[in-house]
Amino acid sequence: MASDLADLTIRNTGSVPYEDAPANGAVLSDSDGARSTPSPLSVFGGKATATISLAPGDEVKGYLQFQTPAGADPAAFLLTTDSGYGRQTGRWTLGSEPSG
C-alpha cells in the first residue's frame, strides 16, 4: 500500500456557518477506476480533526490521507459535502505536477 495526500483549501462562501467532516464525502479514484476513501482523521488548520467549522468567509487549509494500492496512479479527487450526503459532488481531474 502507498499513501497519497489531497491538499485542500475549504472556504465558506455562504452566509451561514458551515460544519462538515470532509473525509466522509471524499474519494480518490485511480486510472483503473479503483476508489479509495481517506483516513477518517484529517488535518485541518494544523491539527488532527474529523470535523471543520467555518464562519461565513472563513477558510481552512488541510489534507486528507488516502491508502492506495502500490503503483496506483491517482486520476480524480471527488468531494461531496455534508458528509457525503450533499446534493452535488465536486470532481477534480488530477495530472502531473507542472514543471518549472
The answer to whether residue 100 scores a pLDDT higher than 50 is no
**Domains, the chain, with CATH or none:** 2-93 (2.60.40)
Q: Which stretches does DSSP call E strand in the chain?
A: 2-11, 18-20, 26-30, 35-36, 42-44, 47-49, 52-54, 59-68, 74-80, 89-93
pLDDT at 97: 57
**pLDDT tens per residue, range 8-18:** 999 999 999 99
What whole-number distance in Å separates Cα of residue 51 and Cα of residue 69?
26
- Phi/psi for 54 (5° steps) reads -130, 130
pLDDT tens, residue by residue, 24-52:
999 999 999 999 999 887 899 999 988 99
pTM tops 0.85, yes or no: no
Mean pLDDT confidence for 76-99: 86
Q: For residue 93, how many C-alpha atoms fall within 13 Å in the half-sphere facing its CB?
A: 1
